Every structure is written in C-alpha cells, then in structure tokens.
Amino acid sequence: MSTKLLGVIDATTFHKSLKDLIGHRTLAALPFGGRYRLIDFVLSNMVNTGITSVGVFSKYNYRSLMDHLGSGKNWDLNRKKDGLFFFPAPIFDVPVEQIGAFHHFGYHMNYFKRSMQEHVVVANCYSVFNMDFNDVLERHIQNGCDITELTKDGTSLEIYLLKRELLIELIETKDETGYTCIKDVIEDDNHNFISCSYQYHDFFVKIDSVESFYQTSMDLLQPDVWRQLFRKKQPIFTKVKDEPPTHYGKDAIIKNSLIANGCIIEGHVENSIISRGVKISKGSIIKNCIVMQKTHIGENCYLDSVIMDKDVKIEDSVEIIPIRPGRPTVIKKGVIQGALMNT
C-alpha cells in the first residue's frame, strides 16, 4: 500500500510569533526535544509508512535545514531511485500562508509528473506527532475520496491526501479556478470533488508560537506523552552526530530532565531539556528551561523558564526568572547574557 504514496513536506511557513527562534533558520529546522528538528517527525512518519520519495519545499533561511537533511541517509532516503528531494522557492516567490501553495508546487512540476506513485500526502513541517499514513490511504481508497483532510477535534491538521494526477490538475488550473492551495478546494462549497475527513485521535501539536513550542517541549517530560511520540516500531529519526557521553560532575543533581550527549553538567538541572554539547557550571540551578546546542552557562546562575538558543553564553551569577507565569524568556542565538543584564 505504501508504495502508492508520494511524500510532500511544505516547509515554507514563517510564524511571526516564533521570530526570535526562526530569524536565522526555517521553522522546519527548529531544534526540539534535545536532539531533533521539527521536520524529523513528519519525515520519519513518511519513512515509517514506507514512502520512499519525499519532496521538501522550503523558502526561508533553509541552509540549516539542508545541512540537517543532507542526502537523506539518516532516513534511508539516499537512494538511486526516488529518495529525498529539496525544492527551494524562487526569490520572487509570492507569499502565501496556506500549506501546499499551488504556485510554489508549480515551479517544480517535473517532480510530480515524473513520480510514479498514485497518491500524494501533503503535510506541514511543524507538527509533533507519530502516525502511519497507510491507515489514511486505506480509508481514502475505500470511501472513494478525491481529497482527504486529517483533522483532530474538528480542527484541520494541515495534512492532506489526494491523487497525484488530481494535484497536478489543481496546480495547472489554478489561474482558472482561483484555488491557491488544497484548503481553498476543501472550503469551496461548489467544488465537484469528494472531500473526506480522517479523524486522528493520538497526540498531535502544531508548533506555531513560543508558548506552544515551550509547552510541548515540557510535555515531553511526561512519560505518557513520550511513549506516544517515540515508539519502538515507529522511531523518530534524526541526523546522527558522533559525540561523547555526557559528563556529570560529583555535585550535579538531575531531576526529571532530558539530557543529550556531549554535555558537561556540574550544576542542578530540573524539569529541563538540554541539547548536545551544553555546559552547565557548578553552583548553577536550571529549572523549567530549554537549552539548545553548545550553550555555556556560568557558575552560580539561577535560570527559570528560559529558552536559550544555540551558542548562547550565560556569564557567572546571572539570574533570570519569568516576568509572567507560563511565558518563557527567549535568548536568541549567540547572545552573551551578563550579570549586568539580568532579567
């Protein structure tokens, strides 16, 4: 069944509410869970479904995304036939916020016309979930649907399944029909297609704000959420990096946290997510924080509810606490936070 599916990931979205974290990277490449990027979830879902051809359509600041994906080897997509394809948008591309913009797909029509798969699954790049698209395809075929939209609790998940030939037709006729994306077709009461809905019931979150990014990251510390996302039979793949195990100092204290490899932990870490290569010096207390790759936290600091992007340096004796409950402080990539700049 899965050999009938072509995978398309729309990575063109830019959420202004996340600008402090994606000003230098595309949303698809936003680090998540200590060692993953957001695109890893939908891409792994496609691979676990058995999809062997995936096109990634990107637009903004996609250098880090290209570096992360590489040849697709970590997802078993470095193939002689099919595999991973990367399609950046032209510089003069017209801004469209909806997933699956036909004008963007139209620049790369050869990809769709040369593909041999009968159906296409078109998905956004910023959702955290774990599912098998074969179930959607089976229901789609059984019900004779033209377009199937995935939903949860009445809300669109911005994931669609349709025939490849129909997608090509919609792209080629966009100027006559006025449809700019798949959502336009579904919301048009006068369309002549059979539109279906597939109800998804497991864990699913769209990362579209700092608050949703922070809360979903903290949810990973709950065992039931972790088990729903990271399954033995449906693993989430990511770029492999060869780094040494994390070193814990004799006075280090770790409580309910995720710690990636390559770190040096000498302080107190609680309810936090620590990425690769982070150093937390002695006497420092880190609570309810997200610390991204290669950040260095000095001695005797107290940090609560802080999101630290890559390569941040926190000097000694810095204290940062939340101004408002539930709203984390974001420190941008490469910033040096000194004692005289305490929040």
Over range 147-170, report the average pLDDT.
Answer: 96
CATH 3.90.550.10 spans which residues of the chain?
2-229
The per-residue pLDDT for range 51-76, each reduced to its tens digit, is 999 999 998 789 999 999 999 999 99
Q: How confident is the prediction for the chain on average, in pLDDT?
A: 92
At residue 265, what is the residue type?
I
- Which residues in 310-341 are b (16+ Cβ under 10 Å) and which e? bbbbbbeebebeeeeeeebbbbbbeeebeeee
pLDDT of 294 higher than 50: yes
pLDDT band, very low/low/confident/very high, at 96 (cuts 50, 70, 90): low
Q: CATH 2.160.10.10 occupies which residues in the chain?
A: 247-341
What would the pLDDT profile of 175-216 be if each residue is shown by its tens digit?
999 999 999 999 998 889 999 999 999 999 999 999 999 999
With 0-12 CB in 10 A as exposed, 13-18 as middle and 19+ as buried, what is 106? middle
Among the listed ranges 94-108, 175-189, 247-261, which one has the minimum average pLDDT value?
A: 94-108
Q: Read out DSSP for 50-87?
A: T--EEEEEE-SS-HHHHHHHTTSGGGT---SSSEEEEE
pLDDT of residue 343: 46
Q: Is residue 14 scored above 70 in pLDDT?
A: yes
Taking the complete model, does pTM exceed 0.85, yes or no? yes
Give the C-alpha separation, 289 to 272, whole Å. 5
Residue 92 has pLDDT above 70, yes or no: no
pLDDT at 274 over 60: yes
Q: Say yes or no: domain 247-341 is CATH 3.40.190.10.
A: no
Give me the mean pLDDT over the 306-323 stretch: 94
pLDDT in the model for residue 133: 97
Q: Which fold has domain 2-229?
A: Spore Coat Polysaccharide Biosynthesis Protein SpsA; Chain A (3.90.550)
